[in-house]
Chains A and B, each alone.
Chain A
Amino acid sequence: MVIEKSGPLVFLLLSLLLIAIPSTSVRMANAHVGEGGGWLLSSYVSGDLTSLPNPSSAQWKEARMMMLEGVDIQPTSVMTVHNETYIVFLIQRVINNSVDRAGALIAFEGVGVNKSDVVWAWVGGKNVSPREQGVSSDYALTGGELTVVFGRALNSTTSAIALSVGKPYDDFVKITSWSTGVKLDSIDLDSLVHLNFELLPHLNVYPTAPLGYSALLLAVTLGFVWEESRKYR
C-alpha cells in the first residue's frame, strides 16, 4: 500500500541516485574533437572564405582548434576551414621576438616529386612555399600574438595536392611554428608530429528539426491532458 502510494517518488529518487553515482567518476565530455586525437579536421563553412589573419571572423566560429608545439616548443594552435572550393589554415602563437625571426609551415606528407613533402611556409613576413603555387599567406601581430593564415584553392591545377571532401588522409599533415630565427631548410620535417587530416563535409550540427519535434511533443502532451480532462467536466 505504501509502495503503491509512494512508488513514483521512490522510483524518481532511485533514478536520480543512479544518475548521481556515475557522474562523480565519469569523465566530463567537454573536449573538442581533434584535441590530442591526432586528427586535424577542416570544418565546412558555406559561402566565401577570406585569407585574412582575423581569428574572430565568422568563418572560424565552427572551426575545431588543435594545439601543437612549435619548433621552439611553444604552444601553437591550428584551425582550418574549407568551403569545398577553397581551404584556409590559421596558425596562432605568442612570439617574443620580431616578426623577422618568426615562421610557420604546413607540410603535406609525400605528395611531391619522388614522394617528397610539399611545404607551405611563411617566414619573416613572407610567403615561402617552394614547389607550390597558388598558396596565399598573410599575418598579423597583436599584443605579441602572431596569427598566420594560409589559403589555397582546393583543386589547384598548379599543385601536387588534390584534396577530397570526406576522405580521411592518414599521417598526412605536419604543422609547426617558430620565433627563434630558424631557417626553413634546417627544419627536420620527419621529426614533426604527423597528423591525420580530413575535410569534413557539410554536417547538420545545429539541427532545427528537433526544435519542431519538441514543440509538437509539448503541444500534444498538453493537448491530450486538456482533452482528457475536458471529458470529465
Chain B
Amino acid sequence: MDSNILGWMKERLGLGSLLDHLIPGHANSPTYVIGGTVFILGVVQGVTGIIIQQFYHPMPDAGAAYSSVQFIIQNQLWNFVRNLHYWGAQLIIILLLFHMIRVYTSAAYKKPREMLWVSGVLLLILAWLLSFTGSVLKWDQEGVEALSHNLELASFTGPLGFWFSPSFAPDVPILVRLNSAHVTILPVLALLIVGLHVYLIRVQGISTPKIRANVPEQMVPFSTHVRKMVLYGSFALLLTAILSFSIPAPLSSIGNIQIEVSKPDWYLLWVYAIENYFGLQAVPYVMTPALILMLMVPALDRSDETDPRKRKLMVGLLVIAVVLFVGLTIDAALTPPVSHLG
C-alpha cells in the first residue's frame, strides 16, 4: 500500500528523477548528512514559529509583546512549542557551523561548487539574523539590550542602516518591523537560498575528495540520503524535545531599555568581547572583513588540492578563526557585563 502511494507520488510529482538519481556512497556518512539534518530542523522551526505567532503580540507599548510571551509560557503546550523553537534554533546554529567546517576541511567549496559555498555562508548569516531577531521579540532585558546594540550599530553604518532608523517608518515601532523580518522577510530569503543551495547540489553533485576521484565508488540512490536525513533529523528533533522538557527557553524580566546588564546568546558572545575591547563602533569593522573573508574562501583557495595536509594555510586559517571565535566567546562569558552603548 505504502509503496503504491509512494509510486503514485513519484509518478505524479516527478519525484523519480529526484529520489532515484545516483550519488556517491560516502555522501551517506554522518558528517555529510549534517546539512540535511539542519533542513529537517528548519522545517520544524517553521511549524513551531507559525504556532507561536498565533499568540505573539508584537507591540512594545505597555509591555504587550512581553505579556504575550508570558501568556505563551503559562500554557503548557505552547510553552513546550516555544521551547522547541528556541532549542531548535540553538541546534541549527551549532549544526550549521559543523556543516561549514566539514565543507571547508573537505574543500567542497572548490570549482565548480563556489556558489554552493557562497549560498551556505548566506544561509549561516540568515540563521544568525533569525536567531537574533527572535531574541529581540521576547522583549525581555536581553531582548531590548540586543535591540539597543543593533540600533546603535546601524547608526554607525550611515545609509546602510536606514532600515533601522525611526525615520524609515515613523508610525511603526521597530519591534513590529523586526517581527515582520523574523516571520516573513528572513524566512522567505532563507527559503529562496535553500532552494538555490539544493538546486546547486543537484546540478553540481555532492563533492568527492580527490582521493576517491580515481577510485570507483559505489553509487547509491538519493533516496538513501533522504532516509539518512530523516533519521538524523529525528535524532536531532528528539534531542531538541529532551532539551525542551528539561531546560525552558530563557525569559527574564520585562526589558528596561535604559540599562545594560545582560549578555547576548553564546553565538554572539564573540561580538560582545570585541565590544569590550574596542567598543561598539569596532563591530562593523570586524564583522565586514570576516564576512568578506568567508565569502571569498573559494577565490582564495583555487588549486585542485583537497588533501587538508597539503592545504596548510587554509586549514591554519580555519583553526585560527575557530580559536579566535572560541577565545572571544569564553572571554566574554567569564568577564563581568559592561556598558557599551554611548
Contacts and interface: CB of A to CB of B under 8 A. Distances in A.
Contacts of B275: 29
14 contacts: A15-B290, A29-B339, A37-B339, A167-B254, A210-B332, A213-B267, A214-B326, A217-B322, A217-B325, A217-B326, A221-B319, A224-B105, A225-B308, A228-B209
B160 interface: no
B330 A200 contact: no
A60 B125 CA distance: 40
A61 to B, nearest CB: 10
The interface centre, meaning the residue of A22, A30, A221, A227 with most chain B CB atoms within 10 A of its CB, is A221
Interface string B69-103: 00000000000000000000000001001100110
A33 B338 contact: yes
A208 B329 CA distance: 11
Nearest to B313: A8
Contacts of B325: 214, 217
Contacts of B323: 218
B181 to A, nearest CB: 25
Interface in B275-297: 275-282, 285-286, 288-290, 292-293, 296
A23 B282 CA distance: 7
B342 interface: yes
A22 B275 CA distance: 12
Nearest to B107: A228
B339 to A, nearest CB: 5
Max chain A C-beta neighbours (<10 A), residue from B282, B293, B314: B282
B97 to A, nearest CB: 6
A144 interface: no
B342 A32 contact: no
Contacts of B279: 22-23, 26-29
Given A26-B279, A168-B258, A205-B336, A221 B318 contact: yes
A216 interface: yes
B226 to A, nearest CB: 23
B307 interface: yes
A163 B332 CA distance: 32
Interface in A2-29: 4, 7-8, 11-12, 14-15, 18-19, 21-23, 25-29
The B contact surface, by secondary structure, is helix
A224 B288 CA distance: 27
B289 A11 contact: yes
Given A15-B293, A33-B339, A213 B329 contact: yes
A5 to B, nearest CB: 9
A11 B31 contact: no
Interface residues on A, range: 35 or more
Contact of A7 (B276, B296, B332): B296
Interface residues on chain B, size class? 35 or more
A158 B55 CA distance: 41
Contact of A19 (B101, B285, B338): B285
A31 B296 CA distance: 37
B202 interface: no
Given A19-B286, A221-B319, A228-B106, A206 B334 contact: yes
Interface in A47-99: 62
Contacts of B342: 27
A205 B263 CA distance: 6
Contacts of B166: none
Given A8-B293, A204-B263, 7 more contacts: A19-B289, A22-B278, A39-B259, A198-B259, A214-B329, A228-B307, A229-B309
Interface in B30-73: 31
B144 to A, nearest CB: 11
B141 A229 contact: no
A19 B106 contact: no
A32 B182 CA distance: 32
A124 interface: no
Contacts of B116: none
Given A165-B253, A218-B326, A203 B141 contact: yes
Q: Name which of B267, B277, B333 has the most chain A CB atoms within 10 A of its CB.
A: B333
A136 B97 CA distance: 54
Contact of B94 (A12, A32, A216, A229): A216
Interface in B221-267: 250, 252-254, 256, 258-263, 266-267
Instruction: Name the 10 nearest CB pairs between A and B, nearest first.
Output: A166-B253, A26-B279, A15-B289, A210-B266, A214-B326, A7-B300, A201-B253, A224-B105, A210-B333, A18-B285
